[in-house]
Amino acid sequence: MQGMEELAHAKVNLFLHVLRPREDGFHEIETSIAPVTLCDWLEIEPANKFEFHCDEPNLAGEDNLVVRATRLFFSETNREPKVRLTLRKEIPHGAGLGGGSSDAAAALRGLNRFFDAGLSRERLSTLGAQLGSDISFFLNETAAICRGRGEIVTPAALPEPLSLLLLKPEFGVPSSWAYSRWQATREVAGEIYRPQKFGDIAFVNDLERPVFEKFVFLAQLKTWLLKQTEVSVALMSGSGSTIFAVLRSNVAGDLVAERAKSELDPRLWTCVCQTI
């Protein structure tokens, strides 16, 4: 049996509306999500037992979503877990880019193909929803509108790719914390939170209020981006801490990234990419 490689693409939220708390502890949301060219790499190879390796040792434990997705897959298919998975990370942790969920989706998708298990996309989505709200989106591999707690996915391809610059400081933002603070800050006003119209999309993120209130640097980062002539839109992705910019046509995103490091923080993580 030959080995294979599965890509786990990152995502950005083009808009994120938090509607209300749910009785199950999650929040009812409506969000437009687009996959981007930035990705992790998952290598799948035959082995005599289950092995998982990651180039970031602190992510190589049993609680990694790839491990949990793999165990769920083998339980569902009644197969012996004889496979070696090697994860190479490019998507930063705690960034609002969906790295962990995308890795889990890549594991489910890849194992299904590797073992020719024949599980339907719907069944894979049901399995993924047991692990995380975004996994159903990543299994579809296309832009979509997601509702419920994120697991109800309606494909909605973008008219054309968007050129993006992603900027992330050294710190992350826990999603559970951001959502827990939404109710307390949802009425906070401010020009920085207004929807930004670009094409047919009104870019807005309801989690910016609670996150910016605590992590003031992210508000400063968004404000700085909006002042750059190369930038059409700036918004936080998911619960942060990544702020992304939609770049104007024929703009060198790397130059904007270097300017941000020079004027704001030399330790910023940056990535120029585009939506898929």
Give yes or no: 103 in active site.
no
Residue 40: what pLDDT?
98
The DSSP symbol for 192 reads G
Express as a percent the part of the chain with pLDDT over 90: 92
Residue 141: what pLDDT?
87
Domain ranges of the chain: 4-155, 163-274
The DSSP symbol for 193 reads G
Give yes or no: 11 in active site.
yes
CATH 2.30.29.30 fits 163-274, yes or no: no
- Consecutive H or E run containing 108: helix 99-114
Q: Are 234 and 226 in contact (CB under 8 A)?
A: yes
Nearest to 124 by CA among 110, 108, 111, 144: 108
Residue partners of 123: CB distance under 8 A and separation at least 6: 76
Residue 169: what pLDDT?
98
Residue 190: what pLDDT?
85
Residue 259: what pLDDT?
98
CA neighbours closer than 13 Å in the CB half-sphere of residue 267: 3
Residue 114: what pLDDT?
97
Which of the following is catalytic: 134, 168, 206, 222? Answer: 134
Site of tokens 């605590």: 214
Mean of per-residue pLDDT scores for the chain: 95
Q: Are 270 and 165 in contact (CB under 8 A)?
A: yes
Q: What is the mean pLDDT of each run of 10 residues along the chain (276 residues)?
A: 93 97 92 98 97 94 96 97 97 96 98 97 95 94 95 94 98 94 79 94 96 96 98 98 97 97 98 97
Residue 194: what pLDDT?
95
Which fold, 4-155?
Answer: Ribosomal Protein S5; domain 2 (3.30.230)
